[in-house]
Amino acid sequence: MTDRQGGADVFTGWRGVVVALFAAFAIMVCATENLEILRLRGVFGTDAIGSPGFDAVQIVGRPGWERVTAVQAGGAAARAGIAPGNLVRFDHAYEANADFAVGRTIGLTVATSPDLHGGRTHHVTVTTLPEEDHDQPQQRRLAHIVYAVSTWFALALGVLAVVRGWHRP
């Protein structure tokens, strides 16, 4: 009977196969997710995230309506005549919280007065334009950078731990 050190058999036999399969799966998921984030950020590929060109906040007591707080100069919303203070409602409610691909067409109802009954209401179609890094809030850009760096670091650390631990206690 041989004396085994604690955990020495984790990387042998069927346990080693399970650890290797789990590690390979985790590496594929991590790499795929990071590549998807880079693609959506416009680093490569054609499916970058687009922007309708405005920021808005939900209005309490008026379901589906949002108040435009900022319009990006030269953006899709500015071209459609949307201005800060306008009220907007997406044709499809789920689009209010969605990330859009560049070139996506979005239908909006726009009210030019805070009083929905007294102001002019019209329908516009906005085609999303590429979201520029300078259009994003600083905190959001920093979060994307920290996430990508920490994920790749964790991936490298995991690969190192599996490789260094193979057939060792």
Helices assigned H by DSSP within 41-137: 76-79
* Residue position matching structure tokens 């799966």: 25
Q: What is the pLDDT of residue 91?
A: 92
Query: Domains of the chain: which residue ranges?
Result: 8-45+137-165, 49-130
Q: Which two tokens stand for residue 20?
A: 């290797």
Q: What is the pLDDT of residue 62?
A: 84
Q: What is the pLDDT of residue 69?
A: 92
Using an 8 Å Cβ cutoff, are 90 and 98 in contact? no
CATH superfamily, domain 49-130, is PDZ domain (2.30.42.10)
The secondary structure of the chain in percent helix, strand, coil, rounded to multiples of 5, reads 45, 20, 35
Q: What is the pLDDT of residue 103?
A: 82
Please count the CA atoms within 13 angstroms of the CA of 58 that sit on its side-chain side. 8
Q: What is the pLDDT of residue 1?
A: 43
pTM over 0.85: no
Average pLDDT score, the chain: 78
Write phi, then psi, for 62 (nearest 5 degrees).
-130, 80
Positions in the chain short of pLDDT 70:
1-11, 40-48, 114-119, 131-141, 144, 166-169
- Tens digit of each residue's pLDDT (9 = 90 or more) over 120-159: 888 999 988 876 654 555 666 677 677 777 888 888 887 7
25 bridge partner residues:
none
Q: Which two tokens stand for residue 163?
A: 């490789």
